[in-house]
Amino acid sequence: MASMDYDLTILGGGSGGLTAARIAASLGARVLLIDKERLGGDCLYTGCVPSKSLIHVARLVHQTRRATRLGLTTSSVEIDMVQVASSIQGVIKQVHEAEHVYTDDVTVKFGMVSFQSPTALIVNDEKITSRATIIATGSHPARSSIEGLAETGYLTNEDVFQLTQLPASLLIVGGGPVGVELGQALARLGVQVTIIQAGERILPREDADVSQTITNVLQSEGVKVITGARVLKAEKHAGKKSVIVQQGEKEDTITADEILLAAGRQPNIDGLRLDTIGVIFNEQGIKVDDYLRTSVANIFALGDVIGGYLFTHVAAYQAGVAVRNALLPVGKKKVNYRVVPWCTFTDPEAARVGLTYAEAQQQHRQVRIITLPWADIDRAQTEHAPTGFIKLILAGKKEEIVGAHMVGAHAGELLGEIALAMQHHLTVSAMLNAIHPYPTLHTGLQQALFEAYLSSTQLRTNKNIIGTALRLRK
Ligand SMILES: Cc1cc2nc3c(=O)[nH]c(=O)nc-3n(C[C@H](O)[C@H](O)[C@H](O)COP(=O)(O)OP(=O)(O)OC[C@H]3O[C@@H](n4cnc5c(N)ncnc54)[C@H](O)[C@@H]3O)c2cc1C
């Protein structure tokens, strides 16, 4: 191969691209990172960081309003959205500043980029050659085919965090994690929220009990949840926005001040000229194999642009795999999605890793479920946050966790321990052997595991051994 300007070029400086750049540069490769506008990506500017900042503000408002139950007298909470929006931008700035380490020893260029050949790219009229390329250009809110929606106007995650004045009422189209998180947060900030979900339940990727519990919480906070409903049409009348919704045979018109579209994502591939070099893609994203290689041998792709698990931590995990495979001629690594944790940051949170009960039954023998009400965790009681449960899916003779589904305040924080245990095939008894500090939420996980032990064959065996030993001592 003729001499190339770079060993690796990465397109897109978001969660996946930045991680890939850092790993590749730390391995001594000559790395070019190209982003169309700025570093940080969806997660930093329009996704995880602003949404979790807004959720934090909304939780404080909610807790302050409920503080009288604890014997605290609070005056009414005034919400200044100009300040809230500015504090969210402040958090983004802080996180952005901490990200500068990702581009140490990396050449960074900004501008529109397109492929001229599998090894040549054009950026702002400059030609660049690279041995390998990783595409990590992310995704954008899926365009909607709803009649009249474009003319009516709507918000997405790309503008909602900059609002300095909230609408009095809001229709959210889409009951996935983005719609549900934003729905609860905005309702807590005083917006009258209606979530319209096409499927039979919100959070359809979650265990059905998780969806039901979160639905109950939302409804108890005044959010209207309409499921099994298809939005047919949108229109604007006298400053109000309406959608015509079909639910079975029935059609209804629902009116609000604003519409938020949260109905899926589409890959950012426009302008890259992928078709001219033979990179195969469809509506869901760029096609990759288990090595994250596209249909062109020296071009890899990761993150939201390949579809599948649309999470920051998955993009970062894929970055390690893609960089290794792009730089090393041998010892290629496959992706492994056996243990992928994720969390929907409602309050309480909905946290998941691994298989559902039905999936586990298809893949394993001796599958059982252990459930512990969140209210049984002492820390949950001290924090006055008893809603939820821990549901563990155990499999195999020695019993390993193959799936966990939780609802609870800060439930997402338990996922790290469960994911590590699953990754290393730790058994229930091995996990129980680790001492946990009381009263943390982690003791809740220990309680659930202890319940599993109490009903296990291992306990029966131990009981027999001890019974025999005790009889011999008589
Ligand atoms: C509201 C919301 C909340 C979310 N919350 C969470 C959460 O709590 N936890 C979680 O794990 N995930 C969350 N996500 C998902 C998360 O943001 C994405 O999965 C993650 O950002 C994907 O990383 P990426 O590297 O694939 O893309 P991105 O981080 O979006 O990076 C893509 C980059 O590519 C650049 N780019 C685009 N097109 C081009 C081009 N043609 N040429 C060059 N550069 C280009 C963009 O400017 C961008 O910088 C959330 C998403 C949304 C919308």
- 304 CA closest ligand 1 atom index: 26
Give me the pLDDT at residue 449, please: 97
Give the start-to-end residue ranges of the domains of the chain.
Answer: 6-141+266-327, 149-263, 341-460
Q: What is the CATH number of domain 149-263?
A: 3.50.50.60
Give me the pLDDT at residue 144, please: 87
Give me the pLDDT at residue 447, please: 98
pLDDT at 1 over 70: no
Contact 194, 256 (CB under 8 A): yes
Tens of pLDDT, residues 93-106: 999 999 999 999 99
Contact 132, 326 (CB under 8 A): yes
Over residues 244-248, mean pLDDT? 94
In CATH, the architecture of 6-141+266-327 is 3-Layer(bba) Sandwich (3.50)
Please tell me the distance from the alpha carbon of residue 71 to that of residue 342, in angstroms, as a whole number: 36
Helix locations, 253-336, DSSP H: 274-277, 312-327
- 113 CA closest ligand 1 atom index: 42
Contact 444, 376 (CB under 8 A): yes
Tens of pLDDT, residues 175-185: 999 999 999 99
Q: DSSP letters of 154-174?
A: -B-TTTGGG-SS--SEEEEE-
Please tell me the distance from the alpha carbon of residue 224 to that of residue 227, in angstroms, as a whole number: 10
Cα(50) to centroid(ligand 1), Å: 13
Give me the pLDDT at residue 388, please: 98
Give me the pLDDT at residue 341, please: 98
Q: Do the domains 6-141+266-327 and 149-263 sit in the same CATH topology, yes or no?
A: yes
pLDDT at 470 over 70: yes
Please tell me the distance from the alpha carbon of residue 18 to that of residue 457, in angstroms, as a whole number: 48
pTM for the complete prediction?
0.96
pLDDT band, very low/low/confident/very high, at 2 (cuts 50, 70, 90): low
Tens of pLDDT, residues 360-386: 999 999 999 999 999 999 999 999 999
Spell out which residues line ligand 1, taking CB within 6 angstroms: 11-17, 34-37, 41-43, 47-48, 51, 113, 136-138, 157, 178, 268, 271-272, 303-305, 310-313, 315, 345
Tens of pLDDT, residues 322-341: 999 999 988 899 999 999 99
Give me the pLDDT at residue 473, please: 87
Over residues 138-151, mean pLDDT? 94
Best mutation site among 137, 139, 260, 352 for ligand 1 pocket (most ligand atoms within 8 Å of CB):
137
Give me the pLDDT at residue 371, please: 98
Q: Which fold has domain 341-460?
A: Enolase-like; domain 1 (3.30.390)
- 272 CA closest ligand 1 atom index: 41
Q: Percent of the chain, pLDDT > 70?
A: 100
Distances (CA, A) of 467 to 454, 462, 472: 16, 8, 9
Give me the pLDDT at residue 173, please: 97
Give me the pLDDT at residue 145, please: 87
pLDDT at 307 over 90: yes
Report which protein residue has its CA nearest ligand 1's atom 2: 47
pLDDT at 206 over 60: yes
pLDDT band, very low/low/confident/very high, at 143 (cuts 50, 70, 90): confident
pLDDT band, very low/low/confident/very high, at 75 (cuts 50, 70, 90): confident
- 139 CA closest ligand 1 atom index: 30
Give me the pLDDT at residue 74, please: 79
pLDDT band, very low/low/confident/very high, at 3 (cuts 50, 70, 90): confident
